[in-house]
Structure 1
Amino acid sequence: MRPSPIAVIGLLAILLSVPAAAEALSFETASYPSCGGCTVVFAAGDIDIDAGDRLLAEARRRGLGRGTVLVLDSPGGRLLGGLNLGRAIRQLGFDTRVGRLDAEGRPADGICASACALAFLGGVRRDVSPGSKFGVHRFYFPGGTRSYDPDEIGALQELTGNLVAYASGMGVDARLVSVSSARSDLRLLSADELRSFRVVWNPMAFSPWEVRTFRGGLAAVSHSADGRADLSLFCDETGTRRAVLVHRFDPPLGADEQTRYRRWFRSAGAIELLGRQVPVRGADFASSGDELYLALRLPAGFRPRPGAVPRLAEASGNIDYTVGAGNLEPALDAAFRNCVAR
């Protein structure tokens, strides 16, 4: 259900009129072996109107791109600054977390509230650790309550629509906008609410396996939560067992990323699939800006290794997908049953 424009006027008013930040959002970049050598950018301070532009400049200067983790610790700031920062985060393909660096430079829990909550939604993958806080609240004009003339109400209604469109465009339940207007004090969302509103979100969380018809036979399919990636296991017309990964990218892969995937494929020896090593030799591969396609030829009698993590992965991390575990065995039995040439 879409929120009433009148219900969120209090939210919008202060977002438009927050005073300039005393200490603007700053960025500190680090690399952490614990996340496979990923790059982490810690962002702390109040969100000003130029925060998104500074993040884009930092990313260009350091060559940061898809998969970089932006860790936010901010009480809020400017509405437009939060929206612009969120759009910059999505443009870069960054993930978002809530947290900070402590006095000794170690990762610690943090807070993300108000305009920071809007910026946070720009993350491709989003997570709030149990000890961190994610807060929203109703806002108001400084100086107390006031009435609105028709022109102001019209402008606020338009902005309400923009906020709903922004949240929906980031894959978040638009009810979050309405919930934000329900209380005048800071409301910290519970873990259940964060998941329910899709504030916490992993688009690459794969579904349990399904059995689908495919070219006169059956295929076992596990797909990502956002519907952009699929792994299919099936027998082709020659009776060969196949594993096919298709990943449709948004935002599209940049030229450097496409080159990196092609180099990987030329040099890769094997890929781990469901706990087994599968040679890359004889595989079909294609990488464009919009799509990655990988078709592996599986050995006869291929079965998952008991107790293995259900994943398709390669040691360098260029390919790394944890796929569904539920219903794997019966789905695989159906897909590989009577694996003969048709």
Structure 2
Amino acid sequence: MSMTFLRKSLFAFLILAGFALGGCNVARAEKMRFSFGSDTPRCNDATCATWINARGVITNETPADFIAFIDRNALRAKTVRFDSPGGDLVAGMRLGEVIRVKKFDTEAITCASACAYAFLGGVQRRFASKQTRFGVHRFYRSKPRNPTLRHYSGEDLDTPQRLMAGLMLYAMKMGVDLRLLAMATEAGPGEMRWIDAEEARTLNVTYTPYTWDRWEIKPLGKGIIAISQNQDKNASMQIACTKSEGAYFLIRDERENAGWFRQCQATRGNGHPILGTLVSDQDVVTRTSQDKATIAFFIDPRKVTFGNATVFADPNTYGPSCIAPFDKYVGATAGLKEAAQLALRNCVE
């Protein structure tokens, strides 16, 4: 099924109205407003803001309000931070669509009901802290009919089905596991199914593609390698030793162009900081293998300290064009030392 079809189908469903996902205290909260947010004290304009606050109830006007806010401000910030109890379901999805088209990331402080669907629009999505509360529940008609009536119209039965189909298309488009919608049915309109951090990560509700998994050991030939993958599983960091080439630290990235790696082989003269030691420019090799770009740094196992697995992040070492965006190659430290030491002691053929 093409994304063009999904997009057209989704907007066909989004013409529905009259359904809400009201979280706690929706009736008493003010409608959503947008403002600048920053860790810098007294920052109140676009030049110093590092995120956009989105506080209050999502209404039918909220998507247009957000577009107006970003159009009238020359924004440096590209993250929308939600603190919202919910609101209008369809407006929440429309807001998420705008966020995705405009390529904003999202963060959540408290984000429940309709806010949860707006949050899914973020290109990258994260919880702002360990105290974040993120909840979903079943949708309901904001102007309900008498539930004791014995007869309902065809529209009464048809509209919820169309809306659920729209939710499924929306979740698919945003790259979220459809089990999230099943979890939403566990809680009625006056309840909440809170999604914890581990569930959010498993379901791709939170999504930071450049977050690296814990280092682990995997077999390679007659030996082993240490490996860590990013959340997208399209890139990996590897530490290994071969009897022919020696020890190395390698990055494989199927989305990266080998030309970018090649232009960044040369540092500003000090060498590449790899695993707590410096690797000279001459000890770096780039290759393209099965359409995947790789760059290998050949290391002296006696000198490495396993402090971190970060590359292309130090402005004192690399020029601006070689500083990877989004902290793309800030590798994991969990399990690094143990896995790397095992791999470097077991050289493969």
Change (3 A) 1:197 1:221: closer
In the TM superposition, residue 157 of structure 1 has moved relative to its aligned partner by: 1.9
> What is the letter of the counterpart of residue 162 of structure 1?
G
Q: Which moved more, 1:177-186 or 1:235-244?
A: 235-244
Are the equivalent residues in 2 in contact too, given 1:213–1:219 (CA < 8 A)?
Answer: yes
Matched, 1:120 2:119: yes
The superposition leaves residues 53-79 of structure 1 with CA deviations (integer Å, 9 ceiling, x where unpaired) of 6656728963658xx432112222332
In the TM superposition, residue 82 of structure 1 has moved relative to its aligned partner by: 1.7
TM-score, normalised with respect to structure 2: 0.65
In the TM superposition, residue 117 of structure 1 has moved relative to its aligned partner by: 1.0
Secondary structure of the equivalent of 1:296? Answer: strand
Map 1:14-53 → 2, pairs under 5 A: 14-15=19-20, 23-30=31-38, 39-49=50-60, 51-52=62-63
In the TM superposition, residue 231 of structure 1 has moved relative to its aligned partner by: 0.8
The superposition leaves residues 92-123 of structure 1 with CA deviations (integer Å, 9 ceiling, x where unpaired) of 55432223xxxxxxxxxxx3222111111233
In the TM superposition, residue 43 of structure 1 has moved relative to its aligned partner by: 1.9
> What is the letter of the counterpart of residue 332 of structure 2?
V
In the TM superposition, residue 134 of structure 1 has moved relative to its aligned partner by: 2.4
Change (3 A) 1:260 1:240: closer
Are the equivalent residues in 2 in contact too, given 1:280–1:296 (CA < 8 A)?
Answer: no
Instruction: Report the count of equivalent residues.
Output: 301
- Alignment match of 2:74 (pick from 36, 56, 62): 62
Q: In structure 1, what is the equivalent of residue 170 of structure 2?
A: 166
Change (3 A) 1:144 1:88: same
| 1: CA distance, partners of 2:333 / 2:167 | 34
Unaligned stretches of 5+ residues in structure 2: 1-16, 42-47, 316-322
> What is the letter of the counterpart of residue 333 of structure 1?
L
Change (3 A) 1:239 1:179: closer
Secondary structure of the equivalent of 2:164? Answer: helix
In the TM superposition, residue 142 of structure 1 has moved relative to its aligned partner by: 1.5
Map 1:85-164 → 2, pairs under 5 A: 85-99=95-109, 111-123=110-122, 124-138=124-138, 139-146=140-147, 148-164=152-168
Q: In structure 1, what is the equivalent of residue 12 of structure 2?
A: none
Name which one, 1 or 2, has greater alpha-carbon Rg: 2
- Alignment match of 1:78 (pick from 88, 96, 117): 88
Change (3 A) 1:261 1:300: closer
Q: In structure 2, what is the equivalent of residue 300 of structure 1?
A: 300
Unaligned stretches of 5+ residues in structure 1: 1-11, 100-110
Matched, 1:208 2:215: yes
Q: Please tell me the root mean square deviation across aligned C-alpha atoms, in Å.
A: 4.6
Secondary structure of the equivalent of 1:166? Answer: helix
Are the equivalent residues in 2 in contact too, given 1:270–1:277 (CA < 8 A)?
Answer: yes
Change (3 A) 1:133 1:301: closer
The superposition leaves residues 17-62 of structure 1 with CA deviations (integer Å, 9 ceiling, x where unpaired) of 999x9644424254659xxx99322222333456556656728963
Are the equivalent residues in 2 in contact too, given 1:85–1:119 (CA < 8 A)?
Answer: yes
Matched, 1:199 2:208: no
Matched, 1:176 2:180: yes
Are the equivalent residues in 2 in contact too, given 1:275–1:311 (CA < 8 A)?
Answer: no
Matched, 1:233 2:239: yes
| 1: CA distance, partners of 2:144 / 2:261 | 56
Are the equivalent residues in 2 in contact too, given 1:206–1:324 (CA < 8 A)?
Answer: no
| 2: CA distance, partners of 1:97 / 1:184 | 24
Q: In structure 2, what is the equivalent of residue 325 of structure 1?
A: 334
The superposition leaves residues 102-157 of structure 1 with CA deviations (integer Å, 9 ceiling, x where unpaired) of xxxxxxxxx32221111112332311534443233332332444564334533432
Are the equivalent residues in 1 in contact too, given 2:301–2:344 (CA < 8 A)?
Answer: no
Secondary structure of the equivalent of 2:111? Answer: strand
| 2: CA distance, partners of 1:42 / 1:205 | 28
Q: In structure 2, what is the equivalent of residue 273 of structure 1?
A: 274
| 1: CA distance, partners of 2:305 / 2:246 | 20
| 2: CA distance, partners of 1:264 / 1:84 | 41
In the TM superposition, residue 185 of structure 1 has moved relative to its aligned partner by: 1.1
In the TM superposition, residue 209 of structure 1 has moved relative to its aligned partner by: 1.7
